[in-house]
A and B are shown apart, each in its own frame.
Chain A
Amino acid sequence: NAGVTQTPKFQVLKTGQSMTLQCAQDMNHNSMYWYRQDPGMGLRLIYYSASEGTTDKGEVPNGYNVSRLNKREFSLRLESAAPSQTSVYFCASSETGVSYNEQFFGPGTRLTVL
């Protein structure tokens, strides 16, 4: 049971380049999330997917797109990277149908945009 996996672990991009962050979970969870973590600001929600086939914007969606490829996989795409997107990105998943939203997190991707 790997839980939530993310690739890559580290990435350096130049301004204007594009890339996709991959996330997969093996816990059969319906809901998946993408967060960014910046110093002094905690985790902020970028996008989430409550179930396969649906996606919704979170607090900071500008500059990002997502794809819920299937129940297991949820990718985050930066079409034209900007230095303001330098951050640590976390993917998470959770069950639906339970009373509380305990989220399980991946190990994170440290992204630097030059």
Chain B
Amino acid sequence: AQTVTQSQPEMSVQEAETVTLSCTYDTSESDYYLFWYKQPPSRQMILVIRQEAYKQQNATENRFSVNFQKAAKSFSLKISDSQLGDAAMYFCAYDSSGSARQLTFGSGTQLTVLP
């Protein structure tokens, strides 16, 4: 079974600065997807970014980018020019490409943005 580990329960960043959230995972599969989801105080889960394992190029979405290291099984999220609205719980998730199609989530990192 796959496991996803987020070793930073809490992080803080100054507004306009850059912060990196860490995620590692364990799998024996070669083909899979990884996601970062954001959960603001409203509780609504929002997809931030997606990475396909077969792509060497790191995904980017505006101020959000990932550092995907397949050999190290590492998938970190970088938030540039942090804004107050980025304050949320962030979850890393693993998507097996197999038939079960289940997402395995990490325990989350609570991000605080300081004005």
Task: Assess whether B108 is in contact with A42, with CB atoms less than 8 Å apart.
Answer: yes
Main secondary structure of the interface of A (DSSP, over half): loop
Residues in B with CB closer than 8 Å to A101 are 33, 95, 101-103
Residues in A with CB closer than 8 Å to B47 are 102
Task: Assess whether B35 is in contact with A102, with CB atoms less than 8 Å apart.
Answer: yes
> In the bound complex, how far is the Cα of B47 from the Cα of A26, in angstroms?
18
Task: Assess whether B103 is in contact with A103, with CB atoms less than 8 Å apart.
Answer: yes
Q: How far is the CB of B88 from chain A (nearest CB, A)?
A: 14
Q: How many residues of B sit at the interface, in one of the four size bands? A: 20 to 34
**From B4, B103, B108, residue with most partner A Cβ within 10 Å:** B103
Main secondary structure of the interface of B (DSSP, over half): loop
Nearest A residue to B32 via CB reads A100
Residues in A with CB closer than 8 Å to B68 are none
A-B contact count (CB 8 A): 51
Q: Do A88 and B95 form a contact, CB below 8 Å, given A42-B106, A96-B101?
A: no
Within 8 A of B (CB), among A41-60: 41-45, 48, 50, 58
Stretch at the interface among B11-19, B38-46, B69-77, B78-86: B38-46
Q: How many residues of A sit at the interface, in one of the four size bands? A: 20 to 34
Q: Do A43 and B95 form a contact, CB below 8 Å, given A100-B33, A102-B35?
A: no
Nearest B residue to A108 via CB reads B43
Contact with B along A61-76 (1 / 0, CB 8 A): 0000000000000000
B residues with a Cβ closer than 8 A to A are 4, 6, 9, 33, 35, 42-45, 47, 50, 52, 91, 95, 97, 101-103, 105-108
